[in-house]
Amino acid sequence: MNTQRKTVLVTGSGQGIGRGVALGLAERGWHVLVADIDEQRAKTVAAEAGGEAVVVDIASAQSCREAAEQLQRQGVVLDGLVNNAALFSTLTMKPFWEIDEQEWNRVLGVNLTGTWQLTKALLPALRGAESASIVNVAASAVWIGRPHYAHYVASKAGLIGLTYVMSRELAGSGIRANAVTPGSVQTEIPRTTITADQVRKQVEAQNVQRPATPDDLVGAIAFLLGPDSGFVSGQTVNVDGGLTVR
């Protein structure tokens, strides 16, 4: 796809799924802004992607505003925004009644509130584009009510709802908003909270019986960002190898 060096910002792209998406979009011709809370990780991936690093803590409204103001001073126009940053791999599985208030608020604060805060702050940059697109990375865990991750599932369910509202409220601005719901994705981030046997059983439950990698998400996200999906808005695209059928 010829994007004519359009600019996309990908949150949480210093590692994991975000890093894979950032690199995949760069390969497809996008100018990628690698946004992450960790400055060194952001700079490393930005160098790999031939883009630029943006340091932001999306859980902080002040940090979101400062990042947006920095981009505004630089005259950056955003053609795309991928809200990927989330807490998951470090979470310990437990029933919802064992999750304490601090952990619950931390997960919701990043996964849901953080997406709302940053998108709100970046609206001037998105409105400056001819036709911008927002892609929110939710999770197919919502569709199965995955046990022992109540705060994560709740945050991602909220993100799907937020996507619908964004698509309605931004319609007059020519900005589209969609979501993708990946299943479990294997990245370089170690997962100590799930066993190899659990991974094997999940893969066996999929129609596509192999572990997913970030590359499996890039195509769907690139489609939703690009002109081929110009008539698609307010939708949720399930990308979990057929673990769930929507």
The pLDDT-based confidence of 211 (bands split at 50, 70, 90) is: confident
Q: What is the pLDDT of residue 193?
A: 67
Dist. CA 246–CA 97, nearest whole Å: 29
Tell me what pLDDT residue 4 has. Answer: 62
- What pLDDT does 2 receive? 45
Q: How far is CA 82 from the centre of its chain?
A: 5
pLDDT score of 99 more than 80: yes
Give the sign of the dihedral formed by CA 24, CA 7, CA 232, CA 234: positive
Q: Which of 82, 152, 179, 181 is catalytic?
A: 152
For 54-64, the pLDDT digits (tens) are 999 999 999 99
pLDDT value at 191 more than 70 = no
Q: Which two tokens stand for residue 205?
A: 């439950």
Domains of the chain and any CATH numbers: 7-238 (3.40.50.720)
pTM of the predicted structure, to 2 decimals: 0.93
Convert the pLDDT of each residue in 133-153 to its tens digit.
Answer: 999 999 999 999 999 999 999
In angstroms, rounded to a whole number, what is the distance separating the alpha carbons of residues 9 and 158?
A: 21
Lowest mean pLDDT among 2-6, 145-149, 153-157, 193-197: 2-6
Sorted by sequence, the CB contacts under 8 Å of residue 241 that are 6+ apart come out as 183, 203, 206, 207, 208, 209, 210, 212, 216
Percentage of the chain beyond pLDDT 70 is: 96
What pLDDT is stored for residue 245 in this prediction? Answer: 82
Backbone CA torsion sign across 229, 234, 235, 239: positive
Please enumerate in sequence order all residues whose Cβ is within 8 A of that of 100, keeping only pairs 6 or more positions apart, or say none: none
Q: How far apart are CA 45 and CA 50, in angstroms?
A: 8
Q: Is 164 among the residues known to form the active site?
A: no
Name the phi and psi angles at 138, rounded to 5. -95, -135
Q: Are strands 133-137 and 236-239 parallel, antiparallel or unpaired?
A: unpaired
96: pLDDT strictly greater than 80: yes
